Each structure stands twice: as structure tokens, then as C-alpha cells.
Amino acid sequence: MPLVFAGVCSHAPGIVGRADQADVSAKDRLYEAFDDMRRRLEASEPDALIVVAAEHFANFFMNNMPSFAMGMADYYEGPIENPEWLGIEKTTIPGDRSLSERLIQKVMERSDVSYAEEWKFDHGIMVPLHFLTPNYDLPIVPANINCQGPPLAPLHRAWAFGEALREAADSVPERIALIGTGGISHWPATPDSGKINEEWDRRFLDQWSHCDKEAMLSYSDNQSYLDAGQGAFEIRTFITISAATEGAEGTVHFYEPIPIFAVGCTIATVNL
């Protein structure tokens, strides 16, 4: 059936792991926005949540790197990171192998996707779940777009992946929710960590909220790298959500640069 929920959010590890170092009011505003997103997600009564993430070498490495991958297991593990560093305990997250297999089979009709029966979550999925499904009681279907190890799939392929995900969600009887997680401009895991190009972010989010396909697909990785850091390669996850909800407007509920979290923190949903 049609998607019951769609949105995007940040996943930076500092959001939880360095919460004690942030401006208290800024952190509280972000956390309230995450809570609001959780309430919206819960109100949609989903049977499962597809998380389109940009993982950071938790499962996939340059010896065998898929551009697009989806998980196909009844459970997953995470986080891979030191729990004290991330601020999230190691746990088991439910999946749904049958649902994954049906979704993947459908996605394959339009998009080349790898599948993985084993998948360890890193902060890219664990931070969103920490806020959105804190009891880990909603089956997750992880999806990944390689945004870390070039060469990267071009943006129009991320769009095509989103179109395929929408068709797949439409084809199953379950109520499917969909989120994309990633940064916009940021320079994560570098000495420039904390740098944020707010103007660049706001322009992209305006385009995203209007589902402006032409504008979003006009970005080049070379220019984004100069203007918005290597973290901006993760706009692929946002673009995929736009493609999966083409024609619908989005609402940015929260955007605020929080340097200690190393990203312009973002919470947005699509008006389905």
C-alpha cells in the first residue's frame, strides 16, 4: 500500500555522544523535534520502517562496495561503535526477512540493488532509531547508499532508487514508513569537523521541501565537496526520499547548525 510516512533526519554521532557538550537549549530544541518526528511516525501506524542511510564502513568496504544495498534479515545488531562514545547501548533490532525479500525483489525490477542477510548498524541508523523507535519494537529494513567511498553512484541513480522503493512499498500489503538519514553540508571526521555551510544547507532544504528534482539533481560531487564538504555526498539519501514521494511537498520542522554535533541538524517530513 502507499507509503504511510516519509521524512529525513540527521544521524551525526555527536547528537547523542556529545550531548553533554552542546548548548543546552539548542540540544533541547533538536531533541524535541526528534520527539515530534517520532510522534508523527507512530501516528502513521507503520508495520515496518525502511531507513535509507549512508553507512560508514560498518558492513561494506572498498573490496566489494555496493552502490545500493538493502538488508534482508529477521534481526540486526548495533551499534558497532563503542557504546560509551556513541551514547547508545548495543542491542538487537528487529527486521522482517520476508518483507525485505519482497521489497528487494520489486526494487530489482527498476534499480540494481545488493542484498545483505547480515548487517551491523552504525550511528547512521542507530542515532535515528534511538529517537524514533527507542524501544526497538518496529521492524527495520535497512537500505544503504554508498556516500563514503568514491566512485559514488550519480545523483540521478539515487533518484531512481527512490522511485523503485516507492513502487516496492506500494506493492506490499504492509504499512511502510520511510526515512532518509544523512548530513547536508559537513566535514565529518576531519580536523574541520564542526564546519557547516548554513546558506548551502538552507538552499538545498528549500529545494528538497519543494521536491525540486531538477535543482537537486544539478549538484555535482566536485562542487559539493568544495562548498559543503565530503559529508554533503550524503544528500543522496534526501534525494531518494524525494523520489519516493515525488509530487509531495516537504516540511522542514527543524534546522539549526550545531557545531559540536558537526552538522546542520535537520528534521523534516513529507506531506503525504
- In the list 67, 100, 181, 193, the residue contacting other proteins (rule: CB under 8 A) is 193
CB of 64 or CB of 135, closer to other proteins: 64
Residues 93-112 that bind other proteins (CB under 8 A): none
Cβ contacts of residue 186 below 8 Å, gap of 6+?
12, 193, 195, 196, 228, 229, 231, 232, 262, 263, 264
Residue 195: CB minimum distance to other proteins, A: 4
Map 94-109 to HEC letters: ECCHHHHHHHHHHHCC
Cβ pair 260, 17 in contact under 8 A: no
Query: In angstroms, what is the minimal distance from the CB of 199 to other proteins?
Result: 14
Amino acid at 169: A
Q: Are 177 and 44 in contact (CB under 8 A)?
A: yes
Q: Site residues for other proteins, window 23-62 (CB under 8 A)?
A: 23-24, 26, 56-59, 61-62
Dihedral (Cα; 173, 112, 136, 258), 10-degree rounding: -120
Which residue, 46 or 183, is less far from other proteins as judged by CB? 183
Grid cell for residue 155: 545523483
- Nearest C-alpha neighbor of 176 from the set 126, 112, 107: 107
Q: Give the integer Cα–Cα distance in Å for 125 and 104.
A: 19
Q: How far is the CB of 58 from other proteins (least distance, A)?
A: 6
Q: Say whether residue 21 binds other proteins (CB under 8 A).
A: yes
Residues in region 208-267 near other proteins by CB under 8 A: 225, 229-230, 257-260
- Smallest gap from Cβ 40 to other proteins, in A, equals 27
Task: Report the site for other proteins in 171-190 (rule: CB under 8 A).
Answer: 187-190
Q: Which of residues 111-170 bind other proteins (CB under 8 A)?
A: 120, 122, 148-150
DSSP 120: B
99/263 with CB nearer other proteins: 263
What is the contact surface with other proteins in residues (CB under 8 A)? 13-14, 17-18, 20-24, 26, 56-59, 61-63, 80-82, 84-86, 120, 122, 148-150, 187-196, 225, 229-230, 257-260
